[in-house]
């Protein structure tokens, strides 16, 4: 019995010591370990170097590529161009359009050559990001908020989809009628070809002809953004559409490196 009492007393003392040590550790401040040296009066802003890919591949679509599909039973020359990565409604796609959340997607209508946010609209913003965003659009959105018509500080602006200078950067795919019914205004149970070219979205019901040659509808890839919406306010800074560079501002020293292709001294390779 005496042995058990001694063991119990030892265990109690051990627990008391551990509790005291934990309280002492919690009371300590991390400040002494992260303070600047006493001889430094001003902390220097960090240097941030952005290495930006400005090759032609940045004009490819951000979320899908073209793939050739041959349906069983069709003649060998009849093929469909389909997206390599179909639209996934459970995923949020980043881009100029506001995606919303699963079960509460943001909708748009199209008028006056612009997509405008509209609860009664039939274009889903998340789907439009998947369909129309190029890689360069996504990069612009991250860095500076996107390609904008103006930055006058008014709290709203229009973002513009890329119109590549490089030729041949057009992409198309066939979408089944279930996608068209769910995320677009087209509700006639027909498959369609859609395509992105020169800053426009093309839609064609003719499945045997290139949608850029024969199309039913042609939409300018422009979207109105407005900071008065709670879920858009984060994308603005000082009343202007903004990205990482505007939000960080002069808190860092910025550098930009990109690839320059040419001949002669200093005309080829990385350029800062």
Q: What is the pLDDT of residues 217-269, one digit of tens each?
A: 999 999 999 999 999 999 999 999 999 998 998 888 888 887 777 666 666 66
If you average pLDDT over each of 176-185, 204-213, 240-249, which comes out highest?
Answer: 176-185
CB environment 50-62: b (16+ within 10 A), e (fewer): eeeeeeeebbbbb
pLDDT, position 251: 87
Model pTM greater than 0.85?
A: no
Three-state SS string across 75-123, please? CCCCCEEEECCCCCCCCCCCCCCCCEECCEECEEEEECCEEEECCCCCE
User: Mean pLDDT over residues 189-201, rounded?
Assistant: 96
Chain centroid, CA 272 distance in Å: 25
Per the CB < 8 A criterion, the answer to whether 207 and 174 are in contact is yes
User: What is the average pLDDT value for the chain, to the nearest integer?
Assistant: 85
Higher-confidence position of 31 and 202: 202
The vertex-186 CA angle with 185 and 189, nearest 5°, equals 145
Domain locations in the chain as residue ranges: 57-242
């Amino acid at each position: 019995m005496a042995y058990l009492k001694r063991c119990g007393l030892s265990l109690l003392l051990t627990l008391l010591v551990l509790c005291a040590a934990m309280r002492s550790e919690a009371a300590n401040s991390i400040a002494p370990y992260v303070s600047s040296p006493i001889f430094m009066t001003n902390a220097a802003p960090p240097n941030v170097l952005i290495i930006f890919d400005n090759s032609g591949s940045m004009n490819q679509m951000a979320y899908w590529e073209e793939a050739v599909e041959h349906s069983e039973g069709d003649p060998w020359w009849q093929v469909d161009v389909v997206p390599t990565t179909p639209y996934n409604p459970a995923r949020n796609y980043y881009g100029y359009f506001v995606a919303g959340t699963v079960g509460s997607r943001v909708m748009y209508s199209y008028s006056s050559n612009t997509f405008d946010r509209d609860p009664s609209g039939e274009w889903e913003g998340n789907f439009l990001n998947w369909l129309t965003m190029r890689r360069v659009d996504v990069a612009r959105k991250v860095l500076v908020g996107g390609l904008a018509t103006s930055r006058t500080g008014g709290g709203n602006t229009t973002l513009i989809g890329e119109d590549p200078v490089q030729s041949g950067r057009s992409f198309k795919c066939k979408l089944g009628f279930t996608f068209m019914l769910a995320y677009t205004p087209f509700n006639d149970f027909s498959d369609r070809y859609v395509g992105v070219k020169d800053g426009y979205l093309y839609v064609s019901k003719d499945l045997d002809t290139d949608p850029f040659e024969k199309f039913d509808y042609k939409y300018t890839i422009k979207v109105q953004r407005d900071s008065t919406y709670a879920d858009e306010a984060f994308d603005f800074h000082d009343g202007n559409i903004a990205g990482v560079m505007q939000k960080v501002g002069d808190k860092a020293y910025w550098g930009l490196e990109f690839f320059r292709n040419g001949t002669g001294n200093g005309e080829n390779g990385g350029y800062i």
